[in-house]
A and B are shown apart, each in its own frame.
Chain A
Amino acid sequence: MLNYQLDRTFAALADPTRRAMVERLVQGPATVSELAKPLPMSLPAAMLHLKVLEECGLVTSEKTGRVRTCRIDPLVLSQAEKWVGERRQMWERSLDRLGAFLDQTKPEDQS
């Protein structure tokens, strides 16, 4: 997976509809209509979200007859790509703690 695709993965997961789709697919494969059914939107709108997930490589789909089945594809993430994601998360958490540390140790004479 190329670097920009990893950025797209993070961007794709920033959306609640797409997270709902991924959470459903982690349980197992589903058809497009099964994925769209619980969502408060039209089928074409759901398909646009699905397209984003497919473009970043998180989800693959195949058509059998008139039914398109989607599945999650965590294999797109190699071990090395996981390191990148984990490193980013490590920094995010460290900087969260640094922000909290600065708040807690703020000198009284500063406003």
Chain B
Amino acid sequence: MSRSVTHASFTITRHWNHAPARVFEAFAKEEAKRKWFAPGVESFDRIFDFREGGRETMSGKHPDGKVSAFDCVYRDIVTPTATEAGRIIYSYVMHLNGAKISVSQAAIEILPEAGGTKLVLTEYGDYLDGYDDAGSREHGTNWLMDLLEKSLTD
């Protein structure tokens, strides 16, 4: 068992020709979020309380048998207008097959721009080694191949 913490952050930016209010709603309304956040996952332990201090949880069994658990607390919620930026900031913990794999914070900035919305997602996290790393070479190679496949289909 090796124990370590990797501190990392990354940013993903998207541009959509949809109004900021619609983008915000896709995060704020459960029936909308359900459509895109984790479709195809058999989910349980669902809580959806979208307000500052509110909690969202979802556990899911994935088609490959993995069980993941997402547990978040909303820290800052600002509704965007046609001209002013909105944001959603939450902290969350992820478990995979019962092991805690990360403690992180996600900041989703919803920014009005000409013709639509710019979304900037920034995640800051502590990523944890939570279990025996036996076979990491094989896993590392598989991960690399997945990464390659994804970059080829982009």
Q: How many A-B residue pairs have CB under 8 A?
A: 126
Q: Is the CB of B5 within 8 A of A97?
A: no
Q: Is the CB of A26 within 8 A of B26?
A: no
Chain A residue total in the interface (Cβ 8 A): 43
Q: Is the CB of A92 within 8 A of B12?
A: yes
Chain B residue total in the interface (Cβ 8 A): 50
Q: Is the CB of A75 within 8 A of B137?
A: yes
**In whole Å, how far is B116's beta carbon from the nearest beta carbon of chain A?**
9
Kindly list chain B residues whose C-beta atoms are within 8 Å of the C-beta of A1: 6
The residue among B10, B101, B136, B145 with the most chain A CB atoms within 10 A of its own CB is B10
B28 interface hit (Cβ, 8 Å): no
B contact patch SS: mixed
Q: Is the CB of B136 within 8 A of A75?
A: yes
Kindly list chain B residues whose C-beta atoms are within 8 Å of the C-beta of A86: 143
Q: Is the CB of A91 within 8 A of B123?
A: yes
| Stretch binding the partner chain, chosen from A29-37, A39-47, A60-68, A76-84 | A76-84
Within 8 A of B (CB), among A1-55: 1, 3, 6-7, 10, 13-14, 19, 22-23, 26
Q: Mark B124-151, 1 if CB is under 8 A from A, else 0.
A: 0101111101001101110111111011
Q: Is the CB of A74 within 8 A of B143?
A: yes
Q: Mark B31-57, 1 if CB is under 8 A from A, else 0.
A: 010011111000000000000000000
> Which of A13, A83, A84, A95 touches B12 (beta carbons < 8 Å)?
A95
A89/B151 contact (C-beta < 8 A), A80-B128, A83-B101, A99-B16 known: no
B83 interface hit (Cβ, 8 Å): no
Q: Is the CB of B136 within 8 A of A19?
A: no
> Which of A74, A88, A110 touches B141 (beta carbons < 8 Å)?
A74
Q: Bound state CA distance, A15 and B119, in angstroms?
A: 26
Q: Is the CB of A84 within 8 A of B10?
A: yes
Residues of chain A touching chain B, judged by Cβ–Cβ distance below 8 Å, are 1, 3, 6-7, 10, 13-14, 19, 22-23, 26, 58, 72, 74-89, 91-92, 94-95, 97-103, 105-106, 110
Residues of chain B touching chain A, judged by Cβ–Cβ distance below 8 Å, are 2, 4-10, 12, 14, 16, 18-19, 22-23, 26, 32, 35-39, 94, 101-102, 104, 119, 121, 123, 125, 127-131, 133, 136-137, 139-141, 143-148, 150-152
Closest 10 CB pairs of A and B: A74-B140, A80-B6, A97-B36, A80-B127, A83-B127, A101-B36, A98-B36, A102-B18, A84-B8, A77-B140
